[in-house]
């Protein structure tokens, strides 16, 4: 981008200089040829400037100084003024010539043919100039694509440009017309054709500009509900949004993306938060959302769950029957809209519906059935429910007016008395009061409407984690979904999915909340299944002083971590995983810490932590040692939160103290003394005390909990197994940095005549300002290398051979120009004695720090990870009876680096100490650079895209069975295996790659290969011999 910006500045100066020189030049010089040349020059400059501006609007941030300072508009005004200046000169010259001609009209002309010849010469000159204007006008019109332009400013700009061009043509036409007087038919026809083009283009631009202006005055008035990531809400959201916004041709992509991101909440918002609001990002944003949420299987599952989790009708009331009817109708229609054939579901659906009905409604339904011996009809059942709640609605309204107010007032009095004297009343009496109160009011604790919580549309639309938070805040029992405020639930029902003691609507949430522990309320028996080991009973859990705090990362953004206040510690500690999440600069420090971890207690350096409270504006800074691990999860087990009265209305430092989670940071006694405050709250026996700190109230002490958990060994291995076996589509969502690498590769990669690819190195923006000097360090390390080589003759010869091979293959060449900033890479040799080809490999160190403290790798983007999962690759490979392996020779080095980036890969080398040290630049992708794996694998994918259609068998293998430069493939048939082998060789050869080191378990696959291509004649898996691959 810097190159384009610099070129724009040069063009602007050239136009300014052209305008100044025109004003300076004398009138005698300003001939027709003079004006024509400067017009052509001006048009060429302006065309280049406008094309560069379009590229900058795509790839450059609109907050850049180039856009903020209005460079484009300034140069455009200068261009228009210069055009006008040249046209004025043309008009003046023409008038002067006409005046001179008029003065001589009264003279005696002795040579009439000479006068006619002068008139014809002048006319031809004007026509020639006009045709130049025609060509300039046509270029402008060809550059207008009315279907692509959507921004109002761009439409106005194009219209003004067309009008300016035509004004120049029209002014000159009147002069030509006065001279020709209709004698030049070809010119007249050409003028009329261009006039028609002008009128058509102007009409189209004005028409779209009118629509766009009207559309920008007011956004669509369709109310589109916010989407929070709930799969069940996606079809409705997608249909409304597509109709009102996505398919609206009068809205720009920028407007669409702004509106779309404004309607996203929760998980959906986080999914696309990395995309800035720009026209280029809209399609990517919409694709990400549709790919994630337009999942037919998940949508079907959500609708089935909603249908099955409807509550049983407890009262013969219109509202409960209406909820049952409406929810059922909504979910079944949603399932049909997914393309599912439900025509044979009637008996099953009606059976589930009748299970939800109260006794009186069920009896009435059975009595009204026309053919009770036949299978029931779903339509008939829905019509019955509709008629039933329609008939009950007037009765319910009458009852509400007549007797319910007194009943409700009585209950409110009972509840107030219960809350006032709950400690004195027997537990049995309290239970009756609570049950009676819940069943009589039936108000939703969330939206206060006349339905229970599980029937609440707002609650159903929440994400799983939000449901857990909601029932916790509302103090709702997670088993029966009612507010009964005691520790024991009398409901004997369990989750219909997993049979655990929670409501079915919370199944997904409970799976996320406690993946390995099953929380069972006290008094409910547990049943061992599938040979699992269960432990249940009362346990004394000791609460330690855990806190949640925000720690600032490298980019200044806060990251929430969990810490433990340890009065007995003399140092601050942080886990390796937390330190990596923060990305802070780490200072090397060797330290041995006693009492931390199980086997590894050596520190991995120190980091400086800036910690902030999650509640108030308080922060502190500490230095912490980085450790591989600290503690086990705290608390030991997840337990149900108790309703301790002394903890109400206070801000806990660790709001989720009851959930067993890892501890990221251990804070020492110094921090404890710094944040401790005077306040202490004590509760009843077996309740923890609360100690006030500047980070919130921390809990300490014993508490009695009831635990029921499963002991499951090798959970990670089992999880990993199912991940491999699961058939899922790999996510293609890229981060902004990865998208930059992909875009750069697509727009800059070229292909040479020999089939090899030339790529750019994906450097970070403005890396030039951060890349320091590196030549002196590279020189010092090279002299050390020479001393080493002088002591080892064998190593020296191998090193020289390697470098000579690099030069011979044109993989590096001598640097003859000076480009700043350049980067010089130190290099050293690595011996690989078991290698069958190259014993020594020279490694170029791109991680060597420059004088600025940054290395080339730190200023380079890594790019997307395009490697296959190694374990899955090997598992797929083992399925085939005929298998073979091969290696791509000099994989990275067969991908060329474009000339403009080779100065970033410079090295120092000479064959002998008597020679002068020379500078070389590496011309290929270099092993050891951060982007090398991406560039190499992306080139393979590009080769598949370009030439894979000719070799379909090879293309499929390279997509799934290539790990870096190692190929592991196989087939079920020997003939197909040989065909695939030949296609692999031919396809890779198209890109300049050579397959070698072939090995197979069947010698027939090696018969047609040259001896230097074969690693081993045959692999026999029944014997102990091995053949090394994958490094």
| The most confident of 116-130, 795-809, 1013-1027, by mean pLDDT | 795-809
pLDDT at 316 over 60: yes
Give Cα 221 to chain centroid, integer Å. Answer: 30
Distance of alpha carbon 470 from alpha carbon 459, whole angstroms: 8
Mean per-residue pLDDT, 815-839: 81
pLDDT of residue 497: 63
| The most confident of 112-116, 256-260, 310-314, 895-899, by mean pLDDT | 895-899
Cβ proximity of 263 and 224 under 8 Å: yes
| The most confident of 17-31, 196-210, 320-334, by mean pLDDT | 320-334
| The most confident of 363-367, 962-966, 982-986, by mean pLDDT | 982-986
pLDDT of residue 115: 44
Mean pLDDT, the chain, rounded, equals 78
pLDDT band at 636 (very low <50, low <70, confident <90, very high): confident
Residues facing 882 on adjacent strands: 971
pLDDT band at 399 (very low <50, low <70, confident <90, very high): low
Higher pLDDT, 192 or 406: 192
Question: What's the CA angle centered on 980, arms 979 and 982, to 5 degrees?
Answer: 65
Cβ proximity of 866 and 941 under 8 Å: yes
Domains of the chain: 2-98+116-217 (no CATH), 231-294 (no CATH), 299-402 (no CATH), 406-516 (no CATH), 540-711 (2.40.70.10), 769-1013 (no CATH)
Residue length of the chain:
1031
Residues whose CB falls within 8 Å of the CB of residue 676, separated by 6 or more in sequence, listed in order? 691, 692, 693
For 680-718, what is each residue's pLDDT tens digit? 888 887 788 888 898 888 988 876 554 444 444 445 555
Place of tokens 């690759």: 873
Burial code (b: 16+ CB inside 10 Å, e: under 16) for 327-348 equals: bbeebbebbeeeeeeeeeebee
Could you tell me the strand order of the sheet in which 689-693 lies?
533-543, 696-711, 689-693, 676-681
Cβ proximity of 748 and 760 under 8 Å: yes
pLDDT at 1023 over 80: no
Cβ proximity of 432 and 426 under 8 Å: no
SS3 state at 701: strand
Residues whose CB falls within 8 Å of the CB of residue 788, separated by 6 or more in sequence, listed in order? 795
Element (H, E) at 273: none
pLDDT of residue 938: 95
Pairing type for strands 896-897 and 757-759 reads parallel
Could you tell me the strand order of the sheet in which 896-897 lies?
750-751, 757-759, 896-897
pLDDT band at 590 (very low <50, low <70, confident <90, very high): low
Higher pLDDT, 324 or 223: 324
pLDDT of residue 420: 34
Please choose, from the candidates 298, 309, 376, the residue with its C-alpha nearest in 3D space to the C-alpha of residue 338.
298
Distance of alpha carbon 696 from alpha carbon 548, whole angstroms: 9
pLDDT at 640 over 90: no
pLDDT band at 823 (very low <50, low <70, confident <90, very high): very high
Higher pLDDT, 222 or 509: 509
Cβ proximity of 718 and 515 under 8 Å: no
pLDDT band at 295 (very low <50, low <70, confident <90, very high): confident
Residues facing 995 on adjacent strands: 888
Number of neighbouring beta carbons within 10 Å of residue 369? 15
Place of tokens 């991680």: 847
Q: How far is CA 435 from CA 281, 310, 315, 404, 625, in A?
A: 54, 20, 14, 18, 55
Tokens linked to 667: 């804070």
Element (H, E) at 521: none
pLDDT at 227 over 80: yes
For 943-970, what is each residue's pLDDT tens digit? 999 999 999 999 999 988 898 889 999 9
What number of CA atoms fall less than 13 Å from residue 29's CA on the CB side? 9
pLDDT of residue 27: 77
Distance of alpha carbon 120 from alpha carbon 356, whole angstroms: 100
Distance of alpha carbon 185 from alpha carbon 191, whole angstroms: 10
* Radius of gyration for the alpha carbons in the chain, expressed in angstroms and rounded: 40
Please choose, from the candidates 974, 931, 976, the residue with its C-alpha nearest in 3D space to the C-alpha of residue 956.
976
Place of tokens 């030949």: 982
pLDDT at 429 over 50: no
Distance of alpha carbon 520 from alpha carbon 534, whole angstroms: 12
Question: What's the CA angle centered on 1017, arms 1011 and 1020, to 5 degrees?
Answer: 170
Higher pLDDT, 470 or 94: 470
Tokens linked to 399: 């009852």
Q: At what angle do helices 279-293 and 253-262 cross, to 10 degrees?
A: 40
What pTM was estimated for this model as a whole? 0.37
Distance of alpha carbon 551 from alpha carbon 902, whole angstroms: 40
pLDDT at 101 over 70: no
Burial of 993 by CB count in 10 Å (0-12 exposed, 13-18 middle, 19+ buried)? Answer: buried
For 842-865, what is each residue's pLDDT tens digit? 999 999 999 888 999 999 999 998
Could you tell me the strand order of the sheet in which 962-963 lies?
962-963, 966-971, 882-889, 994-1000
Burial of 1025 by CB count in 10 Å (0-12 exposed, 13-18 middle, 19+ buried)? Answer: exposed
Tokens linked to 290: 């549709």
Cα-Cα-Cα-Cα dihedral sign, residues 896, 901, 902, 908: negative
pLDDT at 894 over 90: yes
Residues facing 327 on adjacent strands: none
pLDDT band at 530 (very low <50, low <70, confident <90, very high): very low
For 26-68, what is each residue's pLDDT tens digit? 777 778 788 888 888 888 888 888 888 877 877 777 777 788 7
SS3 state at 428: helix
Alpha helix segments (H runs only) across 585-696: 669-675
Q: CA end-to-end span of the chain, whole Å?
A: 39
Higher pLDDT, 939 or 602: 939
pLDDT at 581 over 80: yes
SS3 state at 840: strand
SS3 state at 912: coil
pLDDT of residue 808: 94
Number of neighbouring beta carbons within 10 Å of residue 1? 14
Distance of alpha carbon 606 from alpha carbon 758, whole angstroms: 42
* Least confident among 151-165, 191-205, 548-562, 919-933: 151-165
For 646-685, what is each residue's pLDDT tens digit? 877 788 888 888 888 889 999 988 898 888 888 888 888 7
Distance of alpha carbon 635 from alpha carbon 369, whole angstroms: 58
For 720-746, what is each residue's pLDDT tens digit? 555 554 444 455 578 888 999 999 999
């Amino acid at each position: 981008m810097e190159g384009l910006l610099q070129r724009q500045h040069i063009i602007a100066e050239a136009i300014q200089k052209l305008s100044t020189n025109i004003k300076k030049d004398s009138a005698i010089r300003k001939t027709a040829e003079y004006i024509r040349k400067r017009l052509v020059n001006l048009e060429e400059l302006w065309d280049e400037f406008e094309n560069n501006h379009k590229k900058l609007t795509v790839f450059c941030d609109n907050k850049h100084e180039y856009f903020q300072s209005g460079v484009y508009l300034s140069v455009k005004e200068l261009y228009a003024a210069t055009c006008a200046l040249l046209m004025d000169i043309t008009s003046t010259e023409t008038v002067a010539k006409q005046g001179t001609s008029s003065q001589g009209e009264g003279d005696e002309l002795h040579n009439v043919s000479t006068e006619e010849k002068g008139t014809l010469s002048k006319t031809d000159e004007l026509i020639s100039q006009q045709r130049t204007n025609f060509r300039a006008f046509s270029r402008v019109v060809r550059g207008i694509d009315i279907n692509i332009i959507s921004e109002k400013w761009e439409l106005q700009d194009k219209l003004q440009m067309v009008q300016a061009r035509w004004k120049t043509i029209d002014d000159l036409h009147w002069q030509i017309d006065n001279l020709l007087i209709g004698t030049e038919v070809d010119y007249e026809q050409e003028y009329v054709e261009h006039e028609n083009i002008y009128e058509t283009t102007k009409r189209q631009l004005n028409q779209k500009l009118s629509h766009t202006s009207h559309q920008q005055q007011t956004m669509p008035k369709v109310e589109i509900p916010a989407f929070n990531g709930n799969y069940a809400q996606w079809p409705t959201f997608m249909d409304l949004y597509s109709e009102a916004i996505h398919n609206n041709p009068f809205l720009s992509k920028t407007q669409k993306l702004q509106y779309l991101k404004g309607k996203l909440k929760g998980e959906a918002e986080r999914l696309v938060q990395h995309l800035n609001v720009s026209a280029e990002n809209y399609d990517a944003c919409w694709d990400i959302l549709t790919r994630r949420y337009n999942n037919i299987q998940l949508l079907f599952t959500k609708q089935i769950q909603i249908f099955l989790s409807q509550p049983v009708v407890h009262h013969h009331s219109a509202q409960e029957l209406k909820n049952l009817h409406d929810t059922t109708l909504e979910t079944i229609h949603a399932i049909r809209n997914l393309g599912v054939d439900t025509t044979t579901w009637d008996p099953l659906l009606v059976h589930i519906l009748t299970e939800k009905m109260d006794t009186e409604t069920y009896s009435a339904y059975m009595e009204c059935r026309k053919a009770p011996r036949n299978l029931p009809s779903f339509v008939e059942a829905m019509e019955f429910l509709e008629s039933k709640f329609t008939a009950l609605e007037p009765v319910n309204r009458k009852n509400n007016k007549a007797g319910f107010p007194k009943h409700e007032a009585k209950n409110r009095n009972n509840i107030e008395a219960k809350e006032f004297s709950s400690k004195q009343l027997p537990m049995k009496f309290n239970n009756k009061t609570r049950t009676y109160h819940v069943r009589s009011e039936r108000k939703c604790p969330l939206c206060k409407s006349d339905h229970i919580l599980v029937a609440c549309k707002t609650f159903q639309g929440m994400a799983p984690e939000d449901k857990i938070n909601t029932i916790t805040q509302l103090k709702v029992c997670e088993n029966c979904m009612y507010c009964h405020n005691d520790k024991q639930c009398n409901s004997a029902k369990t989750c219909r999915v997993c049979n655990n003691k929670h409501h079915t609507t919370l199944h997904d949430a409970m799976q996320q909340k406690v993946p390995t522990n099953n929380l069972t309320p006290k008094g409910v028996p547990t049943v061992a299944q599938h040979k699992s080991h269960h432990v249940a009973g009362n346990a004394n859990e000791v609460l330690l002083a855990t806190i949640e705090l925000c720690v600032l990362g490298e980019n200044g953004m806060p990251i929430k971590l969990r810490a433990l206040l340890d009065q007995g510690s003399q140092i601050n500690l942080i886990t390796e995983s937390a330190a990596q999440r923060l990305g802070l600069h780490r200072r090397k420090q060797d330290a041995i810490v006693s009492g931390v971890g199980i086997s590894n207690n050596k520190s991995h350096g120190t980091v400086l932590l800036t910690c902030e409270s999650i509640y108030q504006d308080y922060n502190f800074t500490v230095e912490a040692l980085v450790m591989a691990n600290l503690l086990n999860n705290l608390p030991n087990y997840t337990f149900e939160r108790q309703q301790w009265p002394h903890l109400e209305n206070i801000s806990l430092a660790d709001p989720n103290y009851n959930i067993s989670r890892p501890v990221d940071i251990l804070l020492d006694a110094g921090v404890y003394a710094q944040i401790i405050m005077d306040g202490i709250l004590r509760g009843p026996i077996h309740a923890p005390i609360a100690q006030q700190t500047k980070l919130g109230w921390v809990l300490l002490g014993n508490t009695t909990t009831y635990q029921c958990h499963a002991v499951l060994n090798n959970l990670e291995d089992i999880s990993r197994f199912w991940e491999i076996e699961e058939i899922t589509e790999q996510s293609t969502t890229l981060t902004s940095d990865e998208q930059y690498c992909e875009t750069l590769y697509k727009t800059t990669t070229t292909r040479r005549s020999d089939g090899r690819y030339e790529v750019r190195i994906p450097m970070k923006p403005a890396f030039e300002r951060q890349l320091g000097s590196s030549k002196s360090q590279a020189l010092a390390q090279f002299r050390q290398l020479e001393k080493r080589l002088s002591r080892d003759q064998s190593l020296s010869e191998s090193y020289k051979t390697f470098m000579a091979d690099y030069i011979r293959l044109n993989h590096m060449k001598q640097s003859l120009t000076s480009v700043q900033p350049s980067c010089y890479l130190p290099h050293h040799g690595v011996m690989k004695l078991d290698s069958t080809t190259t014993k020594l490999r020279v490694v170029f160190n791109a991680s060597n720090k420059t004088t600025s403290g940054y290395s080339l790798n730190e200023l380079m983007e890594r790019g997307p990870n395009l490697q296959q999962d190694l374990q899955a690759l090997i598992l797929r490979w083992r399925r085939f009876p005929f298998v073979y392996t091969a290696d791509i020779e000099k994989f990275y080095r067969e991908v060329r680096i474009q000339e403009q980036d080779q100065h970033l890969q410079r090295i120092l080398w000479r064959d002998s100490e008597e020679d002068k040290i020379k500078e070389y630049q590496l011309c290929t992708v270099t092993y050891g650079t951060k982007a090398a794996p991406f560039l190499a694998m992306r080139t393979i994918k590009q080769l598949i895209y370009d030439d894979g259609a000719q070799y379909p068998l090879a293309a499929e293998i390279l997509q799934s069975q290539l790990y870096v430069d190692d190929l592991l493939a196989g087939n079920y048939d020997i003939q197909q295996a040989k065909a695939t082998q030949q296609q692999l060789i031919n396809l890779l050869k198209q890109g300049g790659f050579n397959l070698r080191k072939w090995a197979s378990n069947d010698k027939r696959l090696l018969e047609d290969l040259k001896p230097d291509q074969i690693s081993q004649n045959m692999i026999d898996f029944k014997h102990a011999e091995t053949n090394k691959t994958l490094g």
